[in-house]
C-alpha cells in the first residue's frame, strides 16, 4: 500500500519522535542509577562512618574511665564508666538496626560480644576492689587491653570498609558517567544518521516523482505527447501523473487530427496548384495569345506565389509522413565532412552576398550511416538559418567532435540570437523567431521541425543554445553506430 504525502510526513515525525524519546529514556535510566548509587553512599556508607566514629569515641571514653577508677577507686569515676558503657551499648544497638551491609553487621555483632566480655572483666575487677582483697591486677589489665584492641581494630575495619565502599561507588559513578557519555554520543550520532536517512527517503519519495512530472511537462512543451509517465509515488502524485498521461493522449489525438488535416489539405491543394502553375506557364509562353506587359507581370507574380505554395505543400506532406513514420530512409556509410562541404558550396553565394565569413573546422571524421539526402536537407536548413539571421560581415563557424560514441556537429553564428523563452519551441511546426529589431524574415516555420524529425529518425538529437544578441549555436548529434 502506497502512503499519502501526509502519512509519510507523519511517519517521519514519528520516527524522529521515537529517536528523541529513546535518547530521553536512556538518560533517565542512567540518572536513576546515579541517584541510587548516591543514595546508597548517603544512607549507608556515610552513616556507617558516622556511627563507627561515635562508637570509637564512646569506647575510648569507657576504657579511660575504667582505668582511672582502677587507679583512684573513685565512686564518681565508676558512675562515669557506667554511663559511657550505656552510651556505647545504645550506639551499638542503633548501628545494628540501621546498617544493611551483612559484613558490617557481622563485625558489629562480634564487637557486641567482645564488649560484653570487657564489661564482665571490669565488673569482676570492681567487685574484687570493693572486697579489698589482693588480686592479679596486671592480668586483668592485660586481658582488658587485649579486648579493647580487638574492638578498636574491628571498628577501624568497619571504617576502612566503608571508605572503600564510598571510593568504589564514586569510581563506579565516574566509569558509568564516562560510559554513558560515550553511549550518548553514539546514540546522538546514530539518531542524527537515522533522522537524515528518513528525511532523505521521505523527501526523495516526494521530490523524485515531482521531478519526473516536471521533466514530462518540459517534454510536452517541446511537442512530445507520449503518455508514458509511470511513477511509483504517493496516491495524490500518482493521480496527477495519470491526469498528465490522459492529457498527453488527448494532445496526441489533437496532433494526429491536425497532421491528418494538413496532409489531406496538402493533397487537395497540390493538384490545383500544379494546374495553376502550368496554366500560367502556358500563358507566359504566349500560347494563349499575345500578352501586355502588365499581364505578364501579373502572371509572373502568380507563378512565383504558386511555386511558393507548392514548396509549402510539399514540406507539409514530407513533415506529415515523417511524423507518421511513413518516410523511407536509405542509410549508407557517408563522410559527414564532405556532405557538409557540399551544403556549404550550395549556400556560399548567399553568404558572399552578405559578406559573411564561414569557417569549416570539421576535419577528418569517421563515416556515419545516414540518409544522404535527408541529412543534406538538415545541413541546408541549419546553415541557411545561420546565414539568414547573421548580419552583414558576420561570422559562422562549423566544428565537429566525437563524444561518447556520438558525432556532435556545432554550427555557431554571431547573429541576433534567440531568447531563452523561444529556445524550447523553435523545433515545433510553424514556429518562427521574430527578431527583436523588427526585421522581416521569410519562411514557413517548418524547416527546424523537419530537421528534428530527420535527426530523431537517425537515432540522434538536435538542440540549440543561444543568448539574445550574442548569436546562436545549433548542435546535431548522430550515433556513430547507426
In a domain, 227, yes or no: no
Of 179, 182, 176, nearest to 36 by C-alpha is 176
Of 121, 111, 115, nearest to 70 by C-alpha is 121
Query: What's residue 369's pLDDT?
Result: 92
Query: What's residue 265's pLDDT?
Result: 65
State the CATH number of the domain containing residue 298: 1.10.287.130
In a domain, 221, yes or no: no
Q: Into how many domains does the chain fold? A: 3
* Claim to verify: residue 185 and residue 246 sit in the same structural domain: no
State the CATH number of the domain containing residue 419: 3.30.565.10
What sign does the CA torsion over 245, 249, 250, 251 have? positive
* Claim to verify: residue 180 and residue 258 sit in the same structural domain: no
Query: What's residue 77's pLDDT?
Result: 84
* Claim to verify: residue 185 and residue 239 sit in the same structural domain: no
Q: How confident is the model at residue 434 (pLDDT cuts 50, 70, 90)?
A: low
Q: How confident is the model at residue 352 (pLDDT cuts 50, 70, 90)?
A: very high
* Claim to verify: residue 244 and residue 362 sit in the same structural domain: no
* Claim to verify: residue 89 and residue 187 sit in the same structural domain: yes
pLDDT in tens, 67-99: 888 888 888 888 888 888 898 889 888 888 877
- Give mean pLDDT, residues 278-295: 77
* Claim to verify: residue 243 and residue 263 sit in the same structural domain: yes
Stated as kind and residue range, the H or E segment containing 251 is helix 235-284
* Claim to verify: residue 15 and residue 116 sit in the same structural domain: yes
Query: What's residue 412's pLDDT?
Result: 94
Which residue range forms the structural domain that includes residue 405?
331-479
Statement: residue 130 has pLDDT above 50 = yes
In a domain, 205, yes or no: no
Statement: residue 270 has pLDDT above 70 = no
Query: What's residue 438's pLDDT?
Result: 46
Least confident of 89-98, 342-351, 358-367: 89-98
Boundary-marking domain end, from 284, 305, 324: 324
Statement: residue 441 has pLDDT above 60 = no
State the CATH number of the domain containing residue 36: 1.20.120
Boundary-marking domain end, from 198, 218, 252: 198
pLDDT in tens, 315-331: 777 777 777 666 788 89
Average pLDDT, the chain: 81
Q: Report whether 336 contacts 409 (CB < 8 A).
A: yes
Cα–Cα distance measured from residue 220 to residue 216, given in angstroms and rounded to the nearest whole number: 6
Of 108, 115, 63, 62, nearest to 85 by C-alpha is 62
pLDDT in tens, 194-225: 878 877 887 887 788 888 888 888 777 766 77
- Residues 6 or more apart from 169 whose CB is under 8 A from it? 37, 40, 41, 45
In a domain, 394, yes or no: yes
* Claim to verify: residue 66 and residue 152 sit in the same structural domain: yes
Q: Which residue has the higher pLDDT, 429 or 331?
A: 331
Prediction pTM value? 0.47
* Claim to verify: residue 309 and residue 356 sit in the same structural domain: no
Cα–Cα distance measured from residue 298 to residue 12, given in angstroms and rounded to the nearest whole number: 79
Amino acid at each position: 500500500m502506497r502512503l499519502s504525502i501526509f502519512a509519510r510526513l507523519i511517519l517521519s515525525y514519528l520516527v524522529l519522535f521515537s529517536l528523541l524519546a529513546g535518547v530521553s529514556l536512556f538518560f533517565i535510566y542512567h540518572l536513576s542509577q546515579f541517584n541510587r548509587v548516591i543514595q546508597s553512599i548517603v544512607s549507608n556508607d556515610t552513616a556507617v562512618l558516622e556511627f563507627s566514629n561515635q562508637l570509637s569515641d564512646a569506647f575510648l571514653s569507657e576504657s579511660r574511665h575504667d582505668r582511672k577508677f582502677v587507679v583512684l577507686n573513685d565512686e564518681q569515676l565508676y558512675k562515669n564508666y557506667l554511663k559511657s558503657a550505656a552510651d556505647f551499648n545504645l550506639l551499638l544497638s542503633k548501628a545494628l538496626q540501621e546498617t544493611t551491609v551483612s559484613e558490617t553487621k557481622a563485625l558489629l555483632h562480634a564487637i557486641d560480644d567482645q564488649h560484653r566480655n570487657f564489661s564482665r572483666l571490669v565488673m569482676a575487677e570492681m567487685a574484687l576492689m570493693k572486697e579489698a582483697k589482693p588480686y592479679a591486677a596486671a592480668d586483668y589489665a592485660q586481658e582488658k587491653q587485649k579486648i579493647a584492641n580487638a574492638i578498636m581494630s574491628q571498628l577501624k575495619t568497619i571504617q576502612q570498609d566503608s571508605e572503600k565502599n564510598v571510593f568504589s561507588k564514586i569510581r563506579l559513578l565516574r566509569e558509568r558517567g564516562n560510559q554513558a557519555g560515550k553511549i550518548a554520543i553514539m546514540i546522538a550520532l546514530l539518531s542524527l544518521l537515522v533522522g537524515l536517512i528518513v528525511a532523505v527517503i521521505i523527501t526523495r519519495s516526494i521530490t523524485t516523482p515531482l521531478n519526473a512530472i516536471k521533466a514530462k511537462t518540459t517534454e510536452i512543451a517541446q511537442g512530445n505527447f507520449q503518455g508514458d509517465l509511470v511513477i511509483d509515488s504517493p496516491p495524490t502524485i500518482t493521480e496527477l501523473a495519470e491526469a498528465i498521461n490522459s492529457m498527453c493522449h488527448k494532445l496526441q489525438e489533437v496532433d494526429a487530427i491536425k497532421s491528418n488535416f494538413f496532409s489531406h489539405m496538402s493533397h487537395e491543394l497540390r493538384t490545383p496548384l500544379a494546374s495553376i502553375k502550368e496554366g500560367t506557364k502556358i500563358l507566359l509562353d504566349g500560347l494563349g495569345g499575345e500578352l501586355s506587359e502588365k499581364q505578364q507581370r501579373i502572371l509572373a507574380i502568380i507563378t512565383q506565389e504558386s511555386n511558393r505554395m507548392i514548396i509549402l505543400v510539399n514540406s507539409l506532406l514530407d513533415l506529415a509522413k515523417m511524423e507518421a513514420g511513413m518516410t523511407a530512409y536509405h542509410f549508407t556509410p557517408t563522410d559527414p565532412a564532405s556532405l557538409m562541404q557540399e551544403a556549404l558550396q550550395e549556400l556560399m553565394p548567399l553568404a558572399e552576398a552578405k559578406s559573411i565569413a564561414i569557417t569549416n573546422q570539421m576535419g577528418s571524421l569517421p563515416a556515419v550511416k545516414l540518409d544522404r539526402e535527408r541529412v543534406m536537407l538538415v545541413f541546408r536548413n541549419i546553415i541557411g538559418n545561420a546565414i539568414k539571421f547573421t548580419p552583414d560581415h558576420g561570422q559562422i563557424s562549423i566544428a565537429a567532435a566525437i563524444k561518447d560514441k556520438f558525432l556532435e556537429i556545432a554550427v555557431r553564428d554571431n547573429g541576433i540570437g534567440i531568447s531563452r523563452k523561444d529556445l524550447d519551441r523553435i523545433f515545433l511546426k510553424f514556429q518562427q523567431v521574430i527578431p527583436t529589431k523588427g526585421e522581416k524574415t521569410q519562411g514557413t516555420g517548418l524547416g527546424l521541425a523537419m530537421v528534428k524529425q530527420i535527426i530523431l529518425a537517425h537515432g540522434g538529437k538536435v538542440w540549440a543554445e543561444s543568448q539574445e544578441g550574442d548569436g546562436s549555436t545549433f548542435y546535431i548529434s548522430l550515433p556513430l553506430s547507426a
